[in-house]
Chain A
């Protein structure tokens, strides 16, 4: 193998169902001998924010595949309920939690980055992020790091 394959995943949404694909893709890349980095921006920052990481929800309203009418999916408590159900079926599959996934990813050699602009927007400080985040960078820095990588936006 002459050239080292590399993926750069941009995680821009904070729903449980929107964060997992990014984490699983990055993990699968590492397991396949592919270098991986994830850039968390906008709501995706929730997945690496200490206070929020264990409370990610599933967005039901406006989700045609949820099988739940938007009117009902938008009721208070429905998102928490859906997140609870999804976490339950995930634990049945022995799928690690988001927090565990981040640890596995870093142990596997994947790199996690936060978006500087989004941090300012949400008035979030570096201390509020989980320790697995390697750095807070700009979009330009991201492109420097993603040099030669395939870029995936989720």
Chain B
């Protein structure tokens, strides 16, 4: 009995809630019906407004502004911005210097000259040269050259700064070691080219082993060249060896005439064929280097 009553009570409550929901639903529907025309109008107006803005180019402008912002962010590093901050004072100085009344007057005069360009007579090379005699033209040329000099100086200085940065980078690279090539295998050693056939010079370039050189070896070498070593020839051989000991270079003919106190003519008489080379060869020295 008690249970039935409880169930009935619950059903009553549910029915009441449903009625309440239905009422709210109806109220919403009415509201929508009333609001729809207003909303439609508002949206239509908004579209018209936006369309107008678009036609005036505001959106394109905004898009461009966004693009500029993006480029600024992409193209500049924080370091650049810091530099800009440092540079702002000199930049303002430049602007101040440019806006001084006398400077503006000069610029205005120059502009007037450009404006009246039609009346200027064409100048040939000679007339241009003659025009440089004019004091004002000279002053202007001087100024131009000065500007050029300063610009050039600036370019050089900037170049030097760049090189400095590169140097620093190279130094850093040295400290860190090679990056990309670290994993690559070491390059194979270059094969030494086999000596090709070449014409034999009149006197062989290969010196005898200096340690193995004796006066007997010299006699034998001289004999090979069809020369008999006598006192004046021995003097030259000794002079060449003595000079080599000092200079570490085989003496050429000029040098031999100086150290051995002989004339060129004598040298060619004593050693008719390639004197300096033959003397070096017999003395166990390398072939003399140089053109003379």
Residues of A near any B CB (own CB < 8 A): 1, 5, 24, 27-28, 30-34, 94-96, 103-104, 107-109
Contact call B265/A31, Cβ cutoff below 8 A: no
Q: Encode B250-292 as 1/0 by CB contact (under 8 A) with A.
A: 0011100000000111001000111111000000000000011
B-chain residues with CB within 8 Å of residue A96 when the two chains form the complex = 254, 292
Residues of B near any A CB (own CB < 8 A): 201-203, 252-254, 263-265, 268, 272-277, 291-292
Contact call A32/B277, Cβ cutoff below 8 A: yes
A-chain residues with CB within 8 Å of residue B263 when the two chains form the complex = 107
Partner of A28 from the list B268, B275, B291 (CB cut-off 8 Å) is: B291
* 7 closest residue pairs by CB, A with B: A107-B264, A33-B274, A33-B273, A33-B202, A107-B265, A109-B268, A32-B274
- Can you add 10 more A-B contacts, CB < 8 Å, to A103-B264, A107-B265? A24-B292, A27-B291, A31-B253, A31-B277, A32-B202, A32-B274, A34-B202, A95-B292, A104-B264, A109-B268
Contact call B277/A33, Cβ cutoff below 8 A: yes
> How far, in angstroms, from A1 to B203 measured CA to CA in the complex?
10
Interface hub of A28, A30, A107 (most chain B Cβ within 10 A) = A107
A-chain residues with CB within 8 Å of residue B292 when the two chains form the complex = 24, 27-28, 31, 95-96
> How far, in angstroms, from A5 to B203 measured CA to CA in the complex?
13
B-chain residues with CB within 8 Å of residue A108 when the two chains form the complex = 253, 264, 268
Q: How far is the CB of A84 from chain B (nearest CB, A)?
A: 22
B-chain residues with CB within 8 Å of residue A32 when the two chains form the complex = 201-202, 274, 277
> How far, in angstroms, from A32 to B265 measured CA to CA in the complex?
15
> How far, in angstroms, from A2 to B140 measured CA to CA in the complex?
77
Q: Which residue of A lies closest to B202 (CB)?
A: A33
Interface hub of A30, A31, A32 (most chain B Cβ within 10 A) = A31
